[in-house]
Amino acid sequence: MPPAVALVAGSTEAAAAAAHHPVKAATPAPAAAAASVPKPPEKPPYLFFNVAEVQFIEPACERLIPADESGAGALAAGVPNYLDKQLGGAWGAGERLYRSGPWIQGTASQGYQLPFTPAELFRTALRAIHSDLAQRGSAFNELSTDAQDDYLKSLEKDNHDLDGVPSAVFFDMLLKMSIEGFFSDPVYGGNRDMVAWRMIGFPGAYADYYEAIDRHGVKFEREPLSIGEDGHGNVHVHPEIPASVG
């Protein structure tokens, strides 16, 4: 196996990675392109989740995708914010979902057959989870991380009835949307500072690899770039992008 050789082999590419954007006069040169600790997130306000729901969603997302040595977790990446904006928008309201009945529970091969939109599903499930935990005496955010994991595993595997939402269906949607919030383009409000992309080395939305593809086995080190980014590196967030093209 050829040894890994970074494309950042010398000063040329190093400076390339570092000086992606032209530096204005009197601005210090940008930092090297190593994985950096993200700034504490400035949290946009929640427009969909209420306070009780946030007390479940924030720690739950962080258990699904925790901060660790490999990099930021769901909270630093803004995953709860992503969920909030999607559930509060067209997707949450049932964009692209066939919503006619009758609703008959089918086989696993036949997929989702419930009337709930994503927003309705979350509301219903979270309300049921809240009262379940209230009966047990602790809110989710008061539990230890081990206890939180146990609770999540039980949602995932034991398939409780959450007021009509099978808990496995809720868990599946929560996990899927958390992964989306982690890895999607930051234009949607998650993947803040492209932390998830940096973690795995995915270069993002600008993607011309005609020459680089010839360099077999050579790591491609470039700052990731977002759809929402302007020429000065600022990412403009637009979570309302529709799941259709009109």
Q: Is the distance from CB of 77 to CB of 195 less than 8 angstroms?
A: yes
Which of 104, 137, 146, 158 binds another protein (CB under 8 A)? It is 104
For tokens 């403009």, name the residue: 236
Which of 51, 111, 144, 146 binds another protein (CB under 8 A)? It is 111
Nearest approach, Cβ of residue 48 and another protein (Å): 17
Q: Which is nearer to another protein, 113 or 141 (CB)?
A: 113
Instruction: Give the integer Cα–Cα distance in Å for 33 and 43.
Output: 25
For tokens 């080190």, name the residue: 221
Is 168 an interacting residue with respect to another protein (CB under 8 A)?
no
User: Exposure of 181 by Cβ count < 10 A (0-12 exposed, 13-18 middle, 19+ buried)?
Assistant: buried
Residues binding another protein: number (CB under 8 A): 105
- The upper half-sphere exposure of residue 74, i.e. CA atoms within 13 Å in the direction of its Cβ, equals 23
Residues 184-203, interacting with another protein (CB under 8 A): 184-185, 187-188, 196-197, 199-203
Instruction: Give the integer Cα–Cα distance in Å for 186 and 81.
Output: 11
Q: Which is nearer to another protein, 51 or 104 (CB)?
A: 104
Residues 55-84, interacting with another protein (CB under 8 A): 63-66, 68, 70-71, 73
Is 146 an interacting residue with respect to another protein (CB under 8 A)?
no
Q: Is the distance from CB of 56 to CB of 83 less than 8 angstroms?
A: no
Q: Which is nearer to another protein, 65 or 162 (CB)?
A: 65
Instruction: Give the integer Cα–Cα distance in Å for 49 and 70.
Output: 29
Nearest approach, Cβ of residue 172 and another protein (Å): 10
Q: Which is nearer to another protein, 50 or 215 (CB)?
A: 215
